[in-house]
Amino acid sequence: MEFQTTINTPFTLSGPGLHTGKFTHTTIKPGEVNSGIVFCRTDFEGGKTIAAVADNVTDTNHGTTIANDGASVSTIEHLMSALHGMRIDNAIVEVDGPEVPILDGSARLWVEQIQKVGTVQQNAERRYLHLKESVEWADEASGIVLKAEPADDFVVDSTIEFKSELIGRQSARLTSYGQYLNEFARCRTFVFLREVEALLSLNLIKGGDLDNALVFVDKPLGDEEKTRLAALYNRDKDSIKVSNGVLNTIEPFFDNEPARHKLLDFMGDIYLVGMPVKGHFTLRCPGHRANVELAKLIRKLIIK
């Protein structure tokens, strides 16, 4: 028998949100048996709670947002991925603002804190959703196909494909939760340089930095653009360099880090089913919208 787990003691991580740029504090606290993952906006009088389930997702543009009763929390996917990957069944997530901190653009720091405070086995059997039938969500126009099939464990085969040769076609595979810590948790979000200014024009990525995202550059970088980027990220112009197609002061951890990060995101989004799923997931070009739509379809199986 597997037992449910929660964290041993509370911990807090703070920082700016990726899109709003607002500095927030996020505190993870132990959760009661069978309570699942519940967010609480503590900056509202009396606090407002939002269950971390797909039914409460209100936006999947450039991240996953959940909302309830006029309160929302955005960019929850990396934290949710950490909780899923580290087998945390129940937790309270208190946030004093509209967005979870982006930190280093991965799930690493959440995972490290969970390891530091430790976990507690609870007096209740872990609940799983055992897939009894295949479930699929697809968007023919974009080539997205996400499929879940019955299996004895949680297995994910994911493939992404970009026209740029810097990424191209990449795949990543997870066959056990034991892989998550070393092979996926530290993989950072990524973006193409040509997308950065477009996102800024949409009033997004105010909390973006060269240290919390892999920025791919698939065109020559001129002095004028280097000057603009240096001003944008408060850096010296000479520090703006391109190494193997990546505009960063950091090196990729893996050749297929983008594919691994997309799988990391999927693990956060699919945890919005409300419990771990035993199934084999085959993903082609996953993204937050598709991930959440698949989670919604799977959630419907709970009440069948």
CA distance 190 to 246: 10
Q: What share of the chain is helix, strand, coil (3-state, %, to 5)?
A: 25, 35, 40
Is 288 one of the catalytic residues?
yes
Question: Is the alpha carbon torsion for 286, 289, 292, 296 positive or negative?
Answer: negative
Kindly give, in sequence order, each residue whose CB lies less than 8 Å from that of residue 124, ignoring residues fewer than 6 positions away.
Answer: 3, 4, 33, 34
Residue 36 token pair: 């699942």
CA distance 199 to 216: 15
The helix (H) or strand (E) run that includes residue 68 is strand 65-68
Q: Which amino acid is at 55?
A: D
Residue 296 token pair: 């919604």
* Residue of 78, 84, 280, 288 with catalytic role: 288
DSSP labels for 131-177?
--S-EEEEETTTTEEEEEEE-SSEEEEEEEE-SSTTT-EEEEEE-SG
Q: Which amino acid is at 206?
A: K
Which sequence positions are flagged as catalytic? Answer: 288
